[in-house]
């Protein structure tokens, strides 16, 4: 791992624990001086932009590894559900490294990151639409809403992990259970 990668990994851990951490706190967490951190990243915004860019890389890599385009086009309900399960597990695994990118306004204020995020979101929405077409997911909510709900559940996992309310090993199962089964005992609407 390069020095820059080590610094970035420490910064990500620090920011996941404390999203308001200053550059001085991030430098201390990385075991370097603030001046050294500034040689790598001229500002907190530059650091967050790099974390955001890498989190989008991971999102793209996770979708590619799960074969999202091929699976969505297959029309096979079992493959589609398995793909959603795999994506959720991958996303939860990535929270430790990139969770801060989910909620930090500085990350999504960058036009290039917002545009790339929108492109990736549309690919994921295509999977949810396919899941609705084959009966894996309910059809009474838009596929975009499903995408937003998954995002919200990932933020909930991140918060639960940070606050000690959730064990890491339970994160993906909680997202899947909430997404597929809901939280109502009878599962019905009122």
pLDDT, mean of each 10-residue run, the chain (190 residues): 80 85 92 91 91 89 96 97 96 82 80 93 97 95 95 92 92 94 68
Distance CA 70, CA 66 (A): 9
Q: Which domains does the chain have, with CATH numbers?
A: 1-42 (1.10.10), 44-181 (1.10.357.10)
Separation of alpha carbons 187 and 86, rounded Å: 24
Distances in Å between the alpha carbon of 145 and those of 19, 25, 61, 138? Answer: 26, 37, 23, 11
Q: Does residue 153 contact residue 99 with C-beta atoms inside 8 Å?
A: no
**pTM beyond 0.85, yes or no:** yes
């Amino acid at each position: 791992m390069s020095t820059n990668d080590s610094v970035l990994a420490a910064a990500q851990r620090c920011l996941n624990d404390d999203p308001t951490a200053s550059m001085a706190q991030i430098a201390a967490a990385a075991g370097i001086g603030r001046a050294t951190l500034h040689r790598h990243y001229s500002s907190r915004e530059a650091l967050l932009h790099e974390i955001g860019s890498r989190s989008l890389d991971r999102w793209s890599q996770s979708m590619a590894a799960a074969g999202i385009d091929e699976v969505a086009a297959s029309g096979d309900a079992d493959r589609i559900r398995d793909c959603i399960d795999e994506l959720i597990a991958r996303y939860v695994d990535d929270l430790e490294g990139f969770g801060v990118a989910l909620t930090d306004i500085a990350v999504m204020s960058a036009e290039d990151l917002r545009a790339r995020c929108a492109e990736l979101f549309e690919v994921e929405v295509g999977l949810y639409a396919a899941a609705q077409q084959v009966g894996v997911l309910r059809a009474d909510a838009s596929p975009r809403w499903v995408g937003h709900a998954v995002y919200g559940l990932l933020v909930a996992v991140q918060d639960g992990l940070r606050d000690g309310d959730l064990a890491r090993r339970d994160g993906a199962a909680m997202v899947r259970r909430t997404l597929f089964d809901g939280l109502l005992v009878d599962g019905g609407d009122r």
